[in-house]
A and B are shown apart, each in its own frame.
Chain A
C-alpha cells in the first residue's frame, strides 16, 4: 500500500524543486568558512596517528612499510587529484548519459 502511494507521488517530475543549488551552496560554505575564519595548518595528518600511538605505546614499531611511497607532496597531490578527476569524470559521463537518454 505504502509502495503504491509512493510511486504515485513520484510521477510528477520534481525538476527544479529539489533545491540543488542550496545543497551546493551549503557545501561550499561549510568548506570555505573555516578556511577564512580559522587559522590552522589544515594538515591531513596521516603521520599524526603515529604520535598518538607512540604516546600510548612508546616502543611500538610499525612492522610493515608501504612498498611505493609518493616521492614528494607534489606527486602525492597529483595522485589524489587524478583519483578525484577519474571519479568526477565517470560521474559526469554517467549523469550526462542519463540526462541525454531522458530527453
Chain B
C-alpha cells in the first residue's frame, strides 16, 4: 500500500518545468556565440521580407501588428498544465501561417528582447539560441505542417496542428541546445537530451493544444472580418 502511494506520488508529483527560454548566462560562451551567428542570417532575411511587405502592401501593417501582439500575449501567460507546473505558449504560429516563417525571427525577437531586458526572463547572451528555437525552427515547423494539411484541403486542422507542433518543437530544440552544451557524463548528448526533454514534455503537450486552439480562434475572427487581408496574403504566397 505504501509502495503504491509512493509510486503514485512519483508519477503525479510536480516536476520542474523549464521555461522555454534559456536563462541569461546559462549557455557556455562558445555556444552563445554559435547560436547568435546561426540566428543572424535569419534575422537579416526577416528584416528584408518585413520591409518588402510593408512597402508593397502597407495595408497589411495592422495584421503584422496583430501577429506580433499575439506573440506578446501568449508568451506572457504562464499557463498551468497537467503535471502541476506551468509553462508558456509561444504565439509564433499565427504569424508564421499568415506571413510565412521568414518574418518571424524579427517578430519573435521583439518579444524575446522585451522579456530578456525588462523581465530577466531568457537573456541577451542566450537570445540567439532562444531566437533560433522559438522564432526560426518553431515557425518553420508550423508553416510546413500547415502546408501539408492544406494540400489535403484541411486548412483548419493545419492551423491547429501547425501552431501546436511549432510550440512543441520550440521546446524540443531548447532541450537539444541545452543537451549539446551540457552533455551528461555517461551517455553524452543523447542522455542529457532525454533528461532535459522528458521533464517538460508532458507539461508542454496540453499547452501546445491550447496554443493550437487559440490560433484557430484568432484565425476564425480574421476569416470573418479581414477577408481582404487574407486574400492579399494568399496571393503573396502563391507568388502572383
Give the B-binding residues of A (Cβ under 8 A).
2-3, 6, 10, 13-15, 18, 20, 23-24, 26-27, 30-31, 33-35, 38-53, 56-57, 60, 62-70, 76, 79-81, 83-84, 86-91, 94-95, 97-99, 101-102
Contact = CB atoms under 8 A, between A and B. Distances in A.
Given A50-B23, A79-B118, A98-B226, A87 B76 contact: yes
Interface string B1-34: 0000000000011101111011111101100000
Contacts of A27: 210, 213-214, 217
A88 B214 CA distance: 13
Given A52-B196, A64-B125, A87 B117 contact: no
A13 B199 CA distance: 44
A42 B84 contact: yes
A48 B16 contact: yes
Interface majority SS on B: helix, strand, loop or mixed? helix
B57 interface: no
Contact of B120 (A15, A20, A69): A69
Interface in B113-133: 114-121, 123-125
B120 A31 contact: no
B23 A62 contact: yes
A41 to B, nearest CB: 5
B16 A91 contact: no
B14 A88 contact: no
A50 B223 CA distance: 44
Interface of B: 12-14, 16-19, 21-26, 28-29, 62-63, 65-66, 68-87, 114-121, 123-125, 153, 178, 182-185, 192, 195-196, 199, 206, 209-210, 213-214, 216-218, 220-227, 229, 234, 238
A32 to B, nearest CB: 9
A44 B192 CA distance: 21
Dominant SS among interface residues on chain A: helix
B125 to A, nearest CB: 5
A57 B171 CA distance: 21
27 contacts: A3-B234, A6-B153, A18-B220, A30-B209, A34-B80, A38-B83, A45-B19, A46-B21, A46-B121, A48-B16, A50-B26, A62-B25, A63-B29, A65-B24, A66-B116, A68-B117, A70-B120, A76-B119, A86-B69, A88-B73, A90-B65, A90-B69, A95-B225, A98-B229, A101-B225, A102-B224, A102-B225
